[in-house]
A and B are shown apart, each in its own frame.
Chain A
Amino acid sequence: AFFWLVSLLLASLIWFISVHLSDREDAKLQYGLLVFGAAVSVLLQEAFRFAYFKLLKKADEGLAMISEDGRSPISLRQMAYVSGLSFGIISGMFSVINILADSIGPGIVGIHGDSPYYFITSAFLTMALVLLHTFWGVIFFDACEKRRYWCLGLVVASHLLTSGLTFLNPWYEASLVPIFIITLCTGLWAFFTAGGSFRNILKCLSCKQENDSRVMMYSALQVPLED
């Protein structure tokens, strides 16, 4: 969350400077600068995600060194999930909490001609974004680990695409529906990246307890040692 905040800070700094250096009156220019600011923010977020990955790798090595069996207590996949989730949570909170606070107060949505569905679409968009960040986190870390740079590029591209689609608001059919499709696809991709498969789902749903054959293995290993 801290890393996301720092990336947001830097992006806002860039936007702020660009706005102050430019002509305030020109609405088109301001909108263009906003688009630019959003794009810069997306790129910075991904850059900080990468930086966080590097930091976690280092910490992982340290933990592995001092742990009991040479492996760190948290797997990289768990770290990827947590990192994605926390990016998502802080991003979602920053997007929605002011809206939530305003929704308590007296008022009429869209009285000046804007869409009356502002609150509900904001809620759905935020949910999609949180889920997306989680999935991106999983895919990103896995891609960095396995050095599949095309995956990385795809993640960044999909983030840019999602952010770009929100520019089509309030034409909600064009923005919400594709974003949810993207969320679903990214979710499936993340599921398969994290090692899931149809068999896993079936096993999970059938609640069968598999026989633990590990005991046999240990006692099997014991025999040669006693020689």
Chain B
Amino acid sequence: MITFMNNSDSEEETCNERTSLMSAESPPVPSYQDGLQASEAGEVQVHRKRRTGSSRSPNDTADGEMSDSGVPVRESTLENEEEELTLKYGAKHVIMLFVPVTLCMIVVVATIKSVRFYTEKNGQLIYTPFSEDTPSVGQRLLNSVLNTIIMISVIVVMTVFLVLLYKYRCYKFIHGWLILSSLMLLFLFTYIYLGEVLKTYNVAMDYPTLFLVIWNFGAVGMICIHWKGPLQLQQAYLIMISALMALVFIKYLPEWSAWVILGAISIYDLMAVLCPKGPLRMLVETAQERNEPIFPALIYSSAMMWTVGMAKPDTAARGPSQQTWDAAEDGRENHRSPSHTDSQMPEMRSPVPTRPTTSLEELEEEERGVKLGLGDFIFYSVLVGKAAATASGDWNTTLACFVAILIGLCLTLLLLAVFKKALPALPISITFGLVFYFSTDNLVRPFMDTLASHQLYI
């Protein structure tokens, strides 16, 4: 009881202080009465901190009509509340995304550093037909650029195809495609990964055990991703399939092509999400028009947004699958580019209408999560993994790329809080990552190595 009273007292105090501070602009005598009246009307607007908001109340209540003062104050207070919540939860969202991105990168780096398989050159994908084993530098550069062009065009074609399918409501086809690709990821790639890890650590495993393990892993993964499952398990599976995908890319993309592809794909991402006719933007807008979620499993969601039945009347108007769009319209939840669809990538496209049955009243206000496309996870991990694989055994480069990517993500989320619409997550992070990779590898590494050989510290 004491705390409650304290709260209300302090709120009234704050309110009075604020209004009386603000009314320093208006004549003193009426302002004191305004302050009192405002405090009475102010039970609702106690938390509004914006100067403009509270400065209206003296002026409005000078008319002596409380109802009038209520309305304009309430409008401005809603804006203030939104801004405040945006910034307050902005930091929380940043942390909520840092953790999965970091985990994915850790898995990829740990695998690259320990399992030899993923750093051996065993051929290339058909999307990068030009080999890089050429004698001259110019030829190699040309080959990598050609590889990039082919890869990006494949991605563009796949994305456009997906958007067309979505536009013409061929949901069954999309779902079938996504299920097929996630099947392949969860079973085939996991089998290969497990095989290589066992080989590296020289652990024997018989086929029945292997079958059991992979069957359980894959089946639970399919259920979690495509149907219902605990949020954290679903997040874990999405992280794992992103890591697997990234490892495949690291293995099969030749050196220079990988870097050029990373650069090109961030430019493509920028255009696809921001240009009015970009495929990803059209996808997001179509989904918004239809009040549907975008293939939730293509996207990593940091919070549960689905409700089965809502008890609270104010949000009960929206159905379960529209909860996320409710939030999106409020501008608090923002999509990021589900990135690209390419043929290898249908793996990440698995729709997940996770509808956990836990009670979600308390989640409405708190858990407006942020969503990040799985492609972003994959390319971040590719960058860091490539840095770990090819930076002459140096951990500094990996660390530097890691920090650069996280800072890029932070900046992107900041922009998201400012612009409140879907933004591409790749460009800033990948740019920072590439800059830091090349500069650390070529400039910082010799410096730090020379310092370390003399045991000098800076």
A5 and B13 in contact, given A13-B443, A66-B84, A68-B49 (Cβ under 8 angstroms): no
Q: Which residues of A contact B83 (CB under 8 A)?
A: 66
B277 interface residue per 8 A CB criterion: no
Give the distance in Å from the alpha carbon of A16 to the alpha carbon of B440 in the complex.
Answer: 12
How far apart are A159's CB and chain B's nearest CB, in angstroms? 9
Q: Which residues of B contact A19 (CB under 8 A)?
A: 446
Give the distance in Å from the alpha carbon of A99 to the alpha carbon of B442 in the complex.
Answer: 19
How far apart are A83's CB and chain B's nearest CB, in angstroms? 14
A139 interface residue per 8 A CB criterion: no
A11 and B395 in contact, given A38-B456, A98-B452 (Cβ under 8 angstroms): no
Give the distance in Å from the alpha carbon of A225 to the alpha carbon of B393 in the complex.
Answer: 69
Q: Which one of A1, A42, A66, A97 lies within 8 Å of B396 (CB-CB)?
A: A97
Q: Which residues of B contact A94 (CB under 8 A)?
A: 396, 399, 448
Chain A, Cβ-Cβ closest to B16: A225
B1-30 contact mask (Cβ, 8 Å, vs A): 1 or 0: 010011001101110100000000000000
A191 interface residue per 8 A CB criterion: no
Decide: A166 and B12 in contact? CB cutoff 8 A. Answer: no
Decide: A8 and B444 in contact? CB cutoff 8 A. Answer: yes
Q: Which one of B10, B447, B455 lies within 8 Å of A122 (CB-CB)?
A: B455
Decide: B47 and A68 in contact? CB cutoff 8 A. Answer: yes
Mark the stretch among B170-178, B203-211, B400-408, B419-427 that contacts chain A: B400-408
Chain A, Cβ-Cβ closest to B83: A66
Decide: B403 and A90 in contact? CB cutoff 8 A. Answer: yes
Decide: A9 and B457 in contact? CB cutoff 8 A. Answer: no
How far apart are A5's CB and chain B's nearest CB, in angstroms? 6
Q: Which residues of B contact A5 (CB under 8 A)?
A: 400, 403-404, 436
Q: Which one of B2, B449, B456 lies within 8 Å of A166 (CB-CB)?
A: B456
Decide: B403 and A41 in contact? CB cutoff 8 A. Answer: no
Q: Which residues of B contact A97 (CB under 8 A)?
A: 395-396, 399
Chain B, Cβ-Cβ closest to A175: B455
Which residues of A in the span 170-219 have a Cβ within 8 Å of any Cβ on B?
170, 215, 218
Give the distance in Å from the alpha carbon of A13 to the alpha carbon of B440 in the complex.
Answer: 10
Q: Which residues of B contact A121 (CB under 8 A)?
A: 455
Decide: B395 and A98 in contact? CB cutoff 8 A. Answer: yes
Decide: A34 and B455 in contact? CB cutoff 8 A. Answer: no
A26 interface residue per 8 A CB criterion: no
Chain A, Cβ-Cβ closest to B12: A225
A1 and B403 in contact, given A95-B452, A97-B396 (Cβ under 8 angstroms): yes
A9 and B443 in contact, given A2-B403, A66-B50, A218-B9 (Cβ under 8 angstroms): yes
Chain A, Cβ-Cβ closest to B113: A101
A221 interface residue per 8 A CB criterion: yes
Q: Which residues of B contact A8 (CB under 8 A)?
A: 444, 458
Give the distance in Å from the alpha carbon of A91 to the alpha carbon of B404 in the complex.
Answer: 15
Decide: B443 and A16 in contact? CB cutoff 8 A. Answer: yes
How far apart are A185's CB and chain B's nearest CB, in angstroms? 18
Pick the most buried of A5, A122, A166: most chain B CB atoms within 10 A of its CB. A5
Give the distance in Å from the alpha carbon of A90 to the alpha carbon of B87 in the complex.
Answer: 27
B315 interface residue per 8 A CB criterion: no
B394 interface residue per 8 A CB criterion: yes
A126-148 contact mask (Cβ, 8 Å, vs B): 1 or 0: 10010000000000000000000
B454 interface residue per 8 A CB criterion: yes
Decide: A34 and B454 in contact? CB cutoff 8 A. Answer: yes
Decide: A118 and B455 in contact? CB cutoff 8 A. Answer: yes
A163 and B457 in contact, given A1-B403, A2-B407, A225-B12 (Cβ under 8 angstroms): yes
Which residues of A in the span 29-76 have a Cβ within 8 Å of any Cβ on B?
34, 37-38, 41-42, 45, 63, 65-70
B439 interface residue per 8 A CB criterion: yes
How far apart are A211's CB and chain B's nearest CB, in angstroms? 14
Chain B, Cβ-Cβ closest to A118: B455
A15 interface residue per 8 A CB criterion: yes
Give the distance in Å from the alpha carbon of A182 to the alpha carbon of B261 in the complex.
Answer: 49
A16 and B9 in contact, given A97-B399, A98-B395, A98-B396 (Cβ under 8 angstroms): no
How far apart are A4's CB and chain B's nearest CB, in angstroms? 9
A218 and B10 in contact, given A13-B443, A15-B447 (Cβ under 8 angstroms): yes
How far apart are A199's CB and chain B's nearest CB, in angstroms? 28
A109 interface residue per 8 A CB criterion: no
Decide: A99 and B456 in contact? CB cutoff 8 A. Answer: no
B451 interface residue per 8 A CB criterion: yes
Give the distance in Å from the alpha carbon of A95 to the alpha carbon of B399 in the complex.
Answer: 12
Q: Which one of A2, A38, A125, A225 lies within 8 Å of B13 (CB-CB)?
A: A225
Chain A, Cβ-Cβ closest to B408: A2
Give the distance in Å from the alpha carbon of A41 to the alpha carbon of B443 in the complex.
Answer: 13
Give the distance in Å from the alpha carbon of A38 to the alpha carbon of B5 in the complex.
Answer: 59
Q: Which one of B16, B396, B404, B442 lies within 8 Å of A2 (CB-CB)?
A: B404
Chain B, Cβ-Cβ closest to A169: B455
Q: Which residues of A contact B439 (CB under 8 A)?
A: 9, 12-13
A167 interface residue per 8 A CB criterion: yes
Decide: A38 and B458 in contact? CB cutoff 8 A. Answer: yes
Decide: B394 and A169 in contact? CB cutoff 8 A. Answer: no
A11 and B447 in contact, given A68-B14, A90-B403 (Cβ under 8 angstroms): yes
Give the distance in Å from the alpha carbon of A121 to the alpha carbon of B10 in the complex.
Answer: 55
B125-159 contact mask (Cβ, 8 Å, vs A): 1 or 0: 00000000000000000000000000000000000
Could you pull out 16 A-B pairs where Cβ atoms are within 8 angstroms? A2-B407, A5-B403, A9-B444, A12-B446, A34-B456, A38-B456, A42-B458, A67-B49, A95-B457, A97-B399, A98-B394, A118-B455, A125-B455, A166-B455, A170-B455, A218-B9
Interface residues of A (CB under 8 A from B): 1-2, 5, 8-9, 11-13, 15-16, 19, 34, 37-38, 41-42, 45, 63, 65-70, 90-91, 93-95, 97-99, 101, 118, 121-122, 125-126, 129, 162-163, 166-167, 169-170, 215, 218, 221-222, 225
* Given A5-B403, A98-B448: 4 more A-B contacts, CB < 8 Å: A68-B47, A101-B393, A166-B455, A169-B454
8 smallest beta-carbon distances between A and B, as pairs: A12-B447, A169-B455, A12-B443, A12-B444, A166-B457, A97-B395, A41-B458, A2-B407
